[in-house]
Amino acid sequence: MNYYEKELNIIEKSNRLRNRKLFDNKLIDLASNDYLGLSTKKSLLKKTYKKLKEERYFSPKSSMLVNGYSNIHNKFEKKLCKLNKFEQGIVVGSGFLANIALIESLIRKKDILFIDEEYHASGMLATKLVQGEVVVFKHNDTEDLENKISSLSYTPNRIVIAIEGVYSMGGDIAPKEFNEIASKHNAILIVDEAHSSGVIGKNLLGWFDYYGIEPQSNHIKMGTLGKAYGSYGAYILASHSIISFLENRAKTIIYSTAPSLFDIALAYTNLTYLQKYKKKIKKRIAKNQRIVKKYLNIDAKSLIVPIEIGDNKKVIDMQTELIEKGYLVGAIRQPTVSKAIIRMIIKLDIKEKDLKVVVRYLKN
Ligand SMILES: Cc1ncc(COP(=O)(O)O)c(C=O)c1O
């Protein structure tokens, strides 16, 4: 038995073996991050295809820093900046690449990064690449962060704080006080809005919008396109100088092919749709949250509903039972979470009667 086989055996014995599965497409999907159910809307696909057909090039061809930057990227960046009130934006191949870009390039020698312990794996991986110091603070704990900043024994060049708007496993929202702490300590605040853009806020724009925070020069918003925006890719919004610095220093932006033109064009179409129907979408979000409150007594703040089970085998058994009834939920085990959970996504394309079947099952 070689090393990898031995490791795999250990993983399997603790019921933690992962594998990608071809789930039946007919299952009702309460597992994915397609929050608004845009991934099946053929009209949005058709619109995007028509737009892309008008372009001279339909593949990105090279890095944006060579000649891969297209009109499609530029238009989407401008739309995001206008909506979110940020000075400048840049599209990135994926959220994973965007987090590596931000953390690896912005934290310089004599800087210090404070990062939430539940920050996404891409950000955590990037901390291994930085030249400055990295301090992990307790999840969503503003007091712990404040204590850690106040007890620094030296004055760093820069302080950077990294949080998520909505956390991917818990579905909880980062408190507003993080912004106050960042202002007080003259710190840069990075907000990963993968699960908050399109889901929370007056205009469904995410965390800054939810708290009515006007973007300032110390704010960085990272958003992904593979979730509520129904596509694939990511973007970073910030001040002119930060975006220009990323163009000059972020390796995952400089040395990677520009984001897919189709994906960016699709995200543009979907964002336009989302903004047009935001009132209706917000009502549907509130309705699904009410159903979860009524049956499970959980106050969902986003469209992610975690149900703690604490047993790796049991979550897989529960997932299998629901599959037999025609529904797919996420069975998330360690090490992704500290205790195994059923991760139910109350997507907007789920019919009320179906959502009720699943919540009733989970109640028991
Ligand atoms: C919070 C968060 N940030 C970043 C990412 C990575 O984004 P992407 O899937 O676009 O690489 C994810 C997950 O996919 C995520 O949940």
pLDDT tens digits, residue range 303-349?
A: 999 999 999 999 999 999 999 999 999 999 988 899 999 999 999 99
Q: Alpha-carbon distance 327 to 348, whole Å?
A: 15
Q: How far is the CA of 162 from the centre of ligand 1 (A)?
A: 14
For 110-168, write each residue's pLDDT tens digit. Answer: 999 999 999 999 999 999 999 899 999 999 999 999 999 999 999 999 999 999 999 99
Ligand 1 is surrounded, with C-beta below 6 A, by 94-96, 99, 120, 122, 164, 168, 192, 194-195, 224, 226, 234
Q: How far is the CA of 224 from the centre of ligand 1 (A)?
A: 7
Q: How far is the CA of 104 from the centre of ligand 1 (A)?
A: 16
Q: Which atom of ligand 1 is nearest to the CA of 99?
A: 4
Rounded to the nearest 10 degrees, how much is the dihedral formed by the CA atoms of 169, 175, 180, 181?
-50
Cβ within 8 Å of residue 262, ≥6 positions away? 48, 52, 58
Read off the pLDDT band of 364 (50, 70, 90): confident
Q: Where are the alpha helices (DSSP H) in 58-215?
A: 71-84, 95-106, 121-127, 142-150, 177-184, 207-211
Read off the pLDDT band of 1 (50, 70, 90): confident
Read off the pLDDT band of 227 (50, 70, 90): very high
Q: How far is the CA of 75 from the centre of ligand 1 (A)?
A: 23
Q: What is the mean pLDDT of residues 190-197?
A: 98
Q: How far is the CA of 327 from the centre of ligand 1 (A)?
A: 24
Q: Which atom of ligand 1 is nearest to the CA of 234?
A: 10
How high is the pLDDT of residue 78? 98
Q: Which atom of ligand 1 is nearest to the CA of 233?
A: 10
Pocket test for ligand 1, best of 34, 122, 193 (most atoms within 8 A of CB): 122
For 272-302, write each residue's pLDDT tens digit. Answer: 999 999 999 999 999 999 999 999 999 999 9
Q: Is the dihedral of CA 358, 362, 363, 364 positive or negative?
A: positive
Q: How far is the CA of 56 from the centre of ligand 1 (A)?
A: 31
The answer to whether residue 15 scores a pLDDT higher than 90 is no
Q: Which residue has its alpha carbon closest to ligand 1 atom 16?
A: 168
How high is the pLDDT of residue 261? 98
Work out the percent of the chain whose per-residue pLDDT is above 70: 100
ω into 306 cis (within 30 of 0): no
Q: Which residue has its alpha carbon closest to ligand 1 atom 5?
A: 95
CB–CB of 136/157 below 8 Å?
A: no
* Among the listed residues 169, 35, 190, the one whose alpha carbon sits nearest the alpha carbon of residue 101: 190
Mean pLDDT of the chain: 97
SS3 content of the chain, % helix, strand, coil (to 5): 45, 15, 40
Q: Where are the alpha helices (DSSP H) in 14-129?
A: 42-53, 71-84, 95-106, 121-127
